[in-house]
């Protein structure tokens, strides 16, 4: 994890690299254009100590046309460890938040840095979005709570359909979301989603299932005419 000094250097470099201050942002169009080649990034200030109960401060420039945003993660102690109460969002240098997100479902072990907060492009539009881990299940199916940046409304908007995808990974080149999941000790699989009118749609699924005799069969499913249909079977690949 970066030191506090590194954190300050990183955020300072963001502003210098942008080449303009907050005043330039207000002169721009209400709906800035996304840059799909923009990778961006984020940084969170490390806790001063294990007993530090202060809100977590993260920063990110979610698009070159926008100023640096500050994300204040306000949390409380819980049986699980850390439960987020709200996220306050500010443009860097402004005292008042332009958005406050409440009713957050994120309660994870204190060993999970920043409740799994990330600023990444979740819908491949050239603007970074944000997510946090909802909770840590016993198995590998990790759920997230997600918010997509809306250039038109200048705010982050919840996407419940995206929340339903466990352990999502985002492939910007293919513009696909992949999800690896496990339903039992003898069955697991992987899904592929693409966006359709702003919502992730399942287009392909592969399911590995073991029989009582120890053999494994893989089933393939594809989206055909708005339905997910079984399209074939074969042997499971060796792990």
Q: What is the pLDDT of residues 33-70, one digit of tens each?
A: 666 666 789 999 987 766 778 999 999 999 999 999 99
pLDDT for the residue 53: 86
Q: How confident is the model at residue 219 (pLDDT cuts 50, 70, 90)?
A: very high
In the sheet with 129-133, reading across from the earlier edge strand, the strands are 118-120, 129-133, 144-150, 155-158
Predicted pLDDT of residue 237: 83
From the list 115, 214, 212, 120, the residue with the least C-alpha distance to 172 is 120
State how far the Cα of 82 lies from the Cα of 155, in Å rounded to an integer: 25
pLDDT in tens, 119-155: 999 999 999 999 999 999 877 899 999 999 999 999 9
Nearest to 34 by CA among 106, 99, 128, 153: 128
> With the C-alpha atoms ordered 53, 142, 127, 38, is the resulting torsion angle positive or negative?
positive
Average pLDDT over residues 212-233: 95
Q: Which tokens hold the place of 22? A: 């907050």
In the prediction, which pLDDT does 40 show? 83
Q: Is 189 exposed, middle or buried (0-12, 13-18, 19+ CB in 10 A)?
A: middle
Q: What's the confidence (pLDDT) of residue 31?
A: 57
Question: Which helix or strand (DSSP H or E) is residue 160 part of?
Answer: helix 160-163
Mean pLDDT value across the chain:
86
Q: Tell me 32's DSSP state.
A: P
Q: Which residues contact 232 (CB under 8 A, 6 or more apart)?
A: 219, 220
More confident residue, 233 or 137: 233
- Confidence band of 2 (pLDDT split at 50, 70, 90): very low
| Nearest residue to 117 via CA among 163, 58, 75, 36 | 58
Give the pLDDT of residue 32. 60
Q: Are 189 and 178 in contact (CB under 8 A)?
A: no
Residue 139 contacts by C-beta under 8 Å, 6 or more apart in sequence?
Answer: 182
Determine the Cα–Cα distance for residues 119 and 10; give it in Å rounded to an integer.
15
Is the C-alpha dihedral spanning 22, 27, 30, 35 positive or negative? negative
Contact yes or no for 90/96 (Cβ under 8 A): yes
Cβ atoms of 85 and 76 closer than 8 Å:
yes
Question: Tens of pLDDT along 160-204?
Answer: 999 999 999 999 999 999 999 999 989 999 999 999 998 999 999
């Amino acid at each position: 994890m970066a030191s506090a000094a590194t954190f300050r250097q990183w955020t300072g470099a963001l502003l210098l690299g942008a080449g303009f201050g907050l005043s330039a942002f207000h002169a721009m169009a209400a709906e800035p254009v996304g840059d799909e080649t923009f990778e961006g990034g984020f940084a969170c200030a490390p806790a001063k100590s294990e007993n530090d109960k202060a809100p977590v401060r993260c920063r990110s420039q979610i698009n070159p046309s926008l100023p640096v945003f500050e994300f204040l993660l306000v949390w409380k102690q819980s049986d699980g460890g850390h439960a987020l109460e709200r996220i306050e969002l500010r443009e860097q240098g402004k005292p008042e938040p332009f958005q406050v997100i409440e009713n957050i479902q994120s309660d994870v072990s204190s060993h999970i840095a920043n409740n799994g907060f990330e600023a990444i492009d979740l819908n491949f539009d050239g603007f970074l979005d944000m997510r946090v881990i909802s909770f840590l299940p016993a198995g590998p199916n990790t759920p997230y709570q997600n918010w997509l940046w809306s250039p038109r409304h200048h705010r982050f908007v919840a996407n419940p359909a995206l929340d339903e995808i466990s352990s999502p990974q985002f492939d910007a080149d293919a513009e696909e979301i992949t999800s690896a999941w496990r339903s039992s000790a003898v069955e697991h699989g992987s899904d592929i989603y693409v966006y359709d009118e702003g919502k992730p749609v399942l287009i392909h699924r592969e399911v590995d299932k073991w029989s009582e005799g120890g053999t494994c069969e893989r089933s393939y499913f594809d989206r055909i005419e708005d339905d997910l249909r079984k399209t074939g079977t074969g042997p499971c690949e060796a792990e």
